[in-house]
Amino acid sequence: MAILETTDRQRIWRGLMRYWSNLREAVGGSKAELLTTINETDNWIDAAQSNYLNSLTYRESYTGGQLTLIFCCVACMRTGLVALLRRLLGVEVDNG
Amino acid sequence: MASGDTLYTWTPYANEPPSSNYATLDTRNLHPCLDFDATTNEYAIFSGVMPQHYAGTTGVTVYIHYAMSSATADTVDWDAEFERIGDQQLDVDGDSFAAANSVDNTTVPGTSGLVDVVSIAFTDGADMDSVAAGELFRLRISRDASNDDAAGDAELFAVEIRET
């Protein structure tokens, strides 16, 4: 899977700024720094995806989309983005 | 009228938005505000009749009261433009704003939600499209998102015009 097109990276860029603006969440970085961070994240995913997939014992059991969702959900839970995860998965994320 | 005296104030509900690229009406803790995007230059337009007490000598200064939705660092740029409608001066079927004056590279407040005030001076005459006392005019405010670097929306809470 290749890196994202510039326009797709910019869609994420605009979307994140809109998301944080709506939440009124403090953001310390500039527009340019955010875009650079998105670019570097995409580059890292591109470079690291083989290692990630090779580390999964049951990777053949899931589609690429499902593996991506697993990755995102685990990352969200690890970093405390439970509200975002709840919007994606529902109240199951609140049950112990 | 003395220098520094208020000629006009507008709040977000007075906005007469353009048909496209308009600042979006929003509220923050029930304070009305106009959201200016971080990546697209957006506009708000306010109209009024220049008060009779405008001396027409030293020009006016436009004060922009804004906060940032999320940015706590970096800078924001604002532009302002006058359009004289006057007494048989302008066919309002078209727009005729004079060149913009700007306040650029203003470091935003370190706390999102703190309202900062910046100002843009206009000399009397062509700089403010020759608007004179008693004449209908419009003032267009925009965020120069193409050139500033603060992330996220800028929120406009009020605009004031004072005699310079």
d(CA A45, CA A1): 10
Residue for token pair 């097109």: A5
Contacts of A25 in chain B (CB under 8 A): 70, 112
pLDDT by residue, tens only, chain A of 96 residues: 789 999 999 999 999 999 999 999 999 999 999 999 999 999 999 999 999 999 999 999 999 999 999 999 999 999 999 999 999 999 988 887
pLDDT score recorded for residue B31: 98
Cα B55 to Cα B7, B48, B124, distances in angstroms: 10, 16, 9
Mean pLDDT estimate for chain B: 97
As a whole number of angstroms, the distance between CA B156 and CA B12 comes to: 7
Whether the predicted pLDDT of B9 surpasses 80:
yes
Q: Please indicate if any CB of chain A lies within 8 Å of the CB of B74.
A: yes
pLDDT in tens, B100-117: 999 999 999 999 999 999
Closest residue on chain B to A20 (Cα): B70
The interface predicted TM-score of the complex, written ipTM, equals 0.84
**Position B67 confidence tier, pLDDT thresholds 50, 70, 90:** very high
| Domain ranges, ordered by start, for chain B | 6-163
Confidence of residue B148 (pLDDT cuts 50, 70, 90): very high
- Is the four-CA dihedral B23, B27, B33, B38 of positive or negative sign? negative
Instruction: Label residue B3 by pLDDT band (50, 70, 90).
Output: confident
Helix (H, G, I), strand (E, B) or coil at B157: strand
Mean pLDDT, residues B29-49 taken together: 98
Distance CA B115, CA B109 (A): 8
Binning chain B into helix, strand and coil, the percentages to the nearest 5 are 5, 45, 50
- Within an 8 Å CB–CB cutoff, is residue B27 touching chain A? no
Query: How far away is chain A from the Cα of B107, in angstroms, using its nearest Cα?
Result: 11
* Domain residue ranges in chain A: 1-55, 63-96
pLDDT at B1: 59
Position B70 pLDDT exceeds 80: yes
- 8 A C-beta contact, residue B122 and residue B79: no
Write the DSSP symbol of residue A34: H
Q: Which CATH number fits domain B6-163: 2.60.120.260, 1.10.3720.10, 1.10.20.140, 3.50.50.60?
A: 2.60.120.260
- DSSP 3-state of B59: coil
pLDDT tier for residue B66 given thresholds of 50, 70 and 90: very high
User: What does the block give as tokens for B23?
Assistant: 């600042």
d(CA B137, CA B27): 27
Among A30, A60, A6, A49, which Cα is nearest to B71's? A30
Cβ atoms of B54 and B84 closer than 8 Å: no
Residue spans of alpha helices (H) in chain B? none
What percent of chain B clears pLDDT 90, i.e. is strictly above it?
98
Confidence (pLDDT) at B2: 79
Q: Do B71 and A23 touch (CB under 8 A)?
A: no
Which of B77, B79, B72 lies closest to B151, judged by CA?
Answer: B72
CB contact B73 to A (< 8 Å) = yes
The two structure tokens encoding residue B38: 């971080």
Q: Reply yes or no on whether the pLDDT at B29 is more than 90.
A: yes
* Minimum Cα–Cα distance from A17: chain B residue: B152
The percent helix, strand, coil of chain A (3-state, each to 5) is 75, 0, 25
- Asked whether the beta carbons of B107 and B155 are under 8 A apart, the reply is no
